[in-house]
Amino acid sequence: MSGKVWFVGAGPGDPELITVKGRDLIAQADAILFAGSLVSQAAMRWAKPGCAVEDSKGMDLEQIVAWLIEKAQKGEAVVRLQTGDPGLYGALIEMVQPLDAQGIDVGVVPGVSSAMASAAAGVESLTLPEVTQTVILTRVEGRTPMPEGESLPELAKHHCTLCLFLSITLLKKVQADLLEAGWSPDAPVLVVHKASWPDKEKIIRGTLTDIREKCRAEKINSQAMIIVSPTIGARDWSELKKSKLYDKNFSHRFRKATHKTVHES
């Protein structure tokens, strides 16, 4: 690891949801810069004695990059610990480019996204056979503009699963955009605040009509995932299309069908 910067996904909040590789890199690191506003400091319990640990929540991009470069140029093993997965809304490339310019080796370790952790918290599946097989990870336009063709009304017209990051303060716009895209006012919505965080996770269920008021009542205004999907609530459905993968009449390379399906001519 010497002289290399590893960007490690810390996962959604629970320190135990970090990958084994990520945990091992923390244990080997000489220096760790963690995003303290989003990453639990409990993840630092694996750091070795004498490791330089610093919280980046008060730093701007230039300060973060300068810190990483300084440590790496000393030949130290450096970990930049980020929330969720580094490749999702993590400014990864903005940090990597200056390191590349200095000839510093870089590695990335993926992490569990809050989208997956939120679905797990609600015991929901983001895909279901013959309901939806597509998941869109996106956000509502705020201070950061959306590229052409990626507005929420345009994406929502697919009527598949939508996982909305960084959008909890814009729930009124989410409601308006999805209604514009043809979603029902009764469409189920799942909001999870601090998914997987021990003793801090909150799960709010509602519809497109009432979810904003429910979140306001719970004072949810940050660190929340919004999932809108035709699959929400499937656990309670009386009828469910089953996956062909486990169908006894469906053959694949590990299992032969018990009964052959008869096709009428």
pLDDT digits 0-9 by tens, 239-265: 888 776 666 666 666 667 776 554 544
- Within the chain, residue ranges assigned H as helices are 20-28, 61-73, 92-101, 114-121, 152-156, 171-180, 211-217
The C-alpha angle 10, 200, 138, rounded to 5 degrees, equals 55
Q: Is the pTM of this model over 0.85?
A: yes
Structural domains in the chain, sorted by start: 4-109 (3.40.1010.10), 114-236 (3.30.950.10)
Section 143-156 average pLDDT: 92
Going by C-alpha positions, the residue among 235, 179, 180, 248 that lies closest to residue 207 is 179
Going by C-alpha positions, the residue among 12, 22, 6, 21 that lies closest to residue 80 is 6
Q: Which residues pair with 204 in a beta bridge?
A: 191
Q: What is the pLDDT of residues 12-38, one digit of tens each?
A: 999 999 999 999 999 999 999 998 888
Q: Which residues pair with 161 in a beta bridge?
A: 135
Residues 251 and 239: their CA atoms lie apart, in Å, by 24
Section 100-117 average pLDDT: 97
Q: What is the CA radius of gyration of the chain?
A: 22
